[in-house]
Homo-oligomer: A and B are copies of this chain.
């Protein structure tokens, strides 16, 4: 009798304990651990987004850095970037007297007038002959583009000159494939399209015929001697300005081109041309003479009063 009663009391006690523990199972620590991990993941993502957002907006507010002010007029908030600005060179650059060409006022008016007339003849030409062009001219126009100013004098450009037929053809295949996909996507919206005329638009014969293709890459960052990343302030604006100088040089030399950015195939072209990860394709310029039967659209340019405001 006693043994049974003892056992009874024992069981009752254990049952009470079990009921109390019903609120907290042996899996409870596991659940709590899982919850903590998930909360940690959420907080991490939230912080990551905030950082990404700040990082994305800051480059847009970075000012142009005058090329002779490498110790910068830039506004930086990232520690790393501030370090790079203050490194060496900038604080040690000597200033030297500058001697400039000086023309009479009449000469200036004449020169500026003639240069305008020369550049006003420039048109984008998509029908290029395969007639060869002297390589020396290409070298000179690219040297000229390289005289462009750039943020903090970073000179963040690479001009890739392609003349080899097989490689030009690979480029053409890549570009046309992307363009065709794009046109067909948009054609779905417009049943009144003239297919034949559209087809012309994604065929880029000039990529095969032009004697040279100049692919202009921007270096989105560089490398410092100590291995750290070097900020390339305003690299896109710098490289675009260099492209403007290149276009002036081409026109001056009697060569023609069309300024284009192949849709979405920048990365493929970067890989094809074996450019490093810090370079991104910005523009593609096929260069050569116009075909004998080349045409251009009948466009007009805005008059001076539409583009200039004097205060």
Contact = CB atoms under 8 A, between A and B. Distances in A.
Contacts of A133: 108
B32 A22 contact: no
Contact of A95 (B119, B190, B296): B296
Contacts of A299: 67-68, 93, 153
A308 interface: yes
Minimum-distance CB pairs A-B, first 5: A244-B244, A240-B240, A64-B261, A31-B31, A18-B18
Contact of A148 (B63, B86, B244): B244
A254 B104 CA distance: 9
Given A68-B299, A149-B247, A263-B73, A307 B8 contact: no
Interface in A102-124: 102-103, 105, 107-109, 111-113, 115-116, 119-124
**Counting chain B CB atoms within 10 Å of each CB, which of A49, A95, A143 scores highest?**
A143
B263 A161 contact: no
Interface string A272-302: 0100000000110000011001111111011
Contacts of A195: none
Contacts of A8: 4, 7-8, 11
B108 A134 contact: yes
A252 B115 contact: yes
B147 A253 contact: no
Nearest to A25: B25
A224 interface: no
Contact of A298 (B19, B38, B94): B94
A121 B101 contact: yes
A217 to B, nearest CB: 9
Nearest to A252: B115
A213 B261 CA distance: 32
Contact of A248 (B179, B244, B255, B307): B244
Contacts of A194: 91
A221 interface: no
A260 B140 contact: no
A296 B68 contact: yes
A294 B149 contact: no
A207 interface: no
Contacts of A223: none
A109 B190 CA distance: 48
Contact of A161 (B34, B112, B309): B309
Contact of A115 (B19, B25, B253): B253
